[in-house]
Structure 1
Amino acid sequence: MKRKHTPVPFPRTGRGRKAPSDAVRTRQAEEQRRRVRLMIEITARAGAYRKGLLAAVRRLSADEAAVLADLERNGLQVPQLHDVLCGGHVLVDDRRLYEEWRSAKGSRRRVSSHHRDIDKNLYPDIGMRGQVVREKLHGRTAQGTWVQLEKTPAAFGERKLPSLNDLRHLADYVVYRITRSNVGPWGLSRMTERRPMYLSPALAVPTSLTPPVARSLTRALRRIEEDDDVTAVSQDLAARFPPPDREDLVGELGRALSGRAGRGLFGNSEVWITETPSRSAAAILRESPGPPAVDEWQERGAA
């Protein structure tokens, strides 16, 4: 399975940059939505979620996709997406996301108890509902933006009497107090405000290893790869299809390469891809070894 992926660019308008046309924005939004759908479908293969996730993904809105795509641009990997969908509390070292998500369609002010050290009059918490995120809640931190998906939207402060959703939200809070896990749209997450998931663009800065550590790590990786060659498949198949000979195994870890290189988006995720077997490969494997064919001229020479 290929592990290197390049995110679909979704440019932001700014000073000195021409705003894209409506047709371009529509195409970019659809590409972004299709990419996020694929990410969720892949992580659903390896993780356990509440029923209905894949049905909700088919109705994913452009604004919901934009939130998840922004998290990916800040370093979110497919394995971490499981905690996000299950209500994990995420801190992003990017203040601009607060304003960008605040201007999304359907966004509204929300009352929450998260990050009380922030002036809520200046930076109110913002909620947004959707088929996949159910209730996306985000706000400002001292250094960036926080976001969390909730199973049940609450409207405390908007009405005098609590609604049915408010009562359900209180039930989710009871579950949180008992399990010490956030109650998200599609499961429970131990990534709470006290133990959050932290995403930072600065973590993508390339870092070189010292030569002794690099040599030791390279030997370990080669030993693991050699063991995989003889244990993952039959020895006969391993001999027919040898692995590629890579010079820099350490670079594949993504620490010595720039951008989204190395293990990349999928990290160490337990995902797989099923494909129809190749007829040509199947024919080769079915061939039984036998004596080489003898040409007619060789028969005459022997006679």
Structure 2
Amino acid sequence: MIEITARAGAYRKGLLSAVGRLSAEEAAILADLERNGLQVPQLHDVLCGGHVLVDDPELYEAWRSARGSRERLSSHHRDIDKSRYPDIGMRGQVVREKLHGRTAQGTWVQLEKTPAAFGKRKLPTLNDLRHLADYVVYRITSSNVGPWGLSRMTERRPMYLSPALAVPTSLTPPVARSLTRALRRIEEDDDATAVSQDLAPRFPPPDRQDLTGELGSALTGRAGRGLFGNSEVWVTETPSRIAASILRTRPEPPPEADEWLGRGAA
């Protein structure tokens, strides 16, 4: 997922090399976000420090028990009882500093460029000063400072993920009949765009009884919401030598074309 989004998005240098050192704990966080509806285009904001709300309170405990996790201070979601649900930080090669906590209905998570430990020591550390500099950038740009860029997905304008974003419902019979007629009319119009109108009737589209099921209400899982969403998809494969040789061959004009050209020149 990171390699795909890195082809289209702008990130700080070093992201792909950091992916090679991705830990199991970091991978679990990204996998959990994907399971809750994260798509490849949204991953850009996550890596750039976007504030994410997940409609799943169980993620808080799952990430809290991960290796390397520790309690941390933060100013996010002050309405939560921090003595019961303290904010949890974790460092990694890709997430740099993962910070997460509880919300009233779920879990929030945010990746930071620099960890901070205010309140843990009497004197601020170098990381504390760097974190303060990131806060100045946030105040100026109104963007979170993430490990690999800036994101406008702040706590005031967060990214929202939900495992049950859409609930499939059945259509009433009149609406279903009207929709089926419209879909069949669209298919008939598509047949007219075939290369040969003589061949189109010989190869009709499949005769499906319920065309409305193709709109996503009958699909399993997330009801048609794909992992790649609106992202661009690349296909990388070894070129076929036979296809390359055919494409390099310059086709000779047929004899009829030579005869026609000769008459035209005369």
Give the structure-1-normalised TM-score: 0.69
Equivalent-residue separation in structure 2 for 1:95 and 1:274 (angstroms): 38
How far does the alpha carbon of each residue in 1:168-202 deviate from its partner, in whole angstroms, 9 at most, with x for none? 11111111111111111101111111111111111
Q: Cα offset for 1:252?
A: 6.2
How far does the alpha carbon of each residue in 1:18-50 deviate from its partner, in whole angstroms, 9 at most, with x for none? xxxxxxxxxxxxxxxxxxxxx111111111111
Query: What do you get for the CA RMSD once the two structures are aligned?
Result: 3.2
Q: 1:270 to 1:219 in 2, by over 3 A?
A: farther
**1:140–1:146: 8 Å Cα contact kept in structure 2?**
yes
Q: Where does residue 278 of structure 1 map in the other structure?
A: 240
Equivalent-residue separation in structure 1 for 2:9 and 2:15 (angstroms): 12
Q: 1:214 to 1:198 in 2, by over 3 A?
A: farther
Q: Cα offset for 1:258?
A: 1.6
Read off the aligned partner of 1:52 and give its amino acid letter: G
Q: Where does residue 116 of structure 2 map in the other structure?
A: 154
Equivalent-residue separation in structure 1 for 2:188 and 2:135 (angstroms): 49
Q: Cα offset for 1:157?
A: 1.2
Q: 1:113 to 1:54 in 2, by over 3 A?
A: same
Q: Cα offset for 1:219?
A: 6.9
Q: Where does residue 135 of structure 2 map in the other structure?
A: 173
Structure 2 residue matching 1:277: 3-state secondary structure: coil
Q: Where does residue 67 of structure 1 map in the other structure?
A: 29
Q: 1:65 to 1:218 in 2, by over 3 A?
A: farther
**2:168–2:223: 8 Å Cα contact kept in structure 1?**
no
**1:191–1:197: 8 Å Cα contact kept in structure 2?**
yes
Q: Where does residue 264 of structure 2 map in the other structure?
A: none
Mapping for residues 129-148 of structure 1, pairs under 5 Å: 129-148=91-110
Q: 1:104 to 1:207 in 2, by over 3 A?
A: same
**1:252–1:261: 8 Å Cα contact kept in structure 2?**
no
Equivalent-residue separation in structure 2 for 1:52 and 1:121 (angstroms): 37
80, 87, 100: which one pairs with 1:118? Answer: 80
45, 50, 55: which one pairs with 2:12? Answer: 50
Q: Where does residue 195 of structure 1 map in the other structure?
A: 157
How far does the alpha carbon of each residue in 1:216-248 deviate from its partner, in whole angstroms, 9 at most, with x for none? 57877998x99xx99xxxx9xxxxxxxxx6768
Read off the aligned partner of 2:115 and give its amino acid letter: P
Structure 1 residue matching 2:53: 3-state secondary structure: strand
60, 69, 76: which one pairs with 1:107? Answer: 69
Read off the aligned partner of 1:176 and give its amino acid letter: Y
**1:138–1:145: 8 Å Cα contact kept in structure 2?**
yes
244, 259, 268: which one pairs with 2:230? Answer: 268
Q: Cα offset for 1:52?
A: 0.3
Mapping for residues 70-85 of structure 1, pairs under 5 Å: 70-85=32-47
Q: Cα offset for 1:206?
A: 3.0
Gaps of 5+ in 1: 1-38, 236-244, 292-303
How far does the alpha carbon of each residue in 1:50-72 deviate from its partner, in whole angstroms, 9 at most, with x for none? 10000000000000000110011
**1:254–1:264: 8 Å Cα contact kept in structure 2?**
no
143, 148, 164: which one pairs with 2:126? Answer: 164
**1:218–1:250: 8 Å Cα contact kept in structure 2?**
no
Q: 1:114 to 1:216 in 2, by over 3 A?
A: farther
Equivalent-residue separation in structure 1 for 2:112 and 2:18 (angstroms): 15
Equivalent-residue separation in structure 1 for 2:245 and 2:161 (angstroms): 48
Give the structure-2-normalised TM-score: 0.78
Q: Cα offset for 1:93?
A: 0.8
Equivalent-residue separation in structure 1 for 2:119 and 2:188 (angstroms): 60
Structure number with larger C-alpha Rg: 2
Gaps of 5+ in 2: 196-204, 256-266
Q: 1:48 to 1:117 in 2, by over 3 A?
A: same
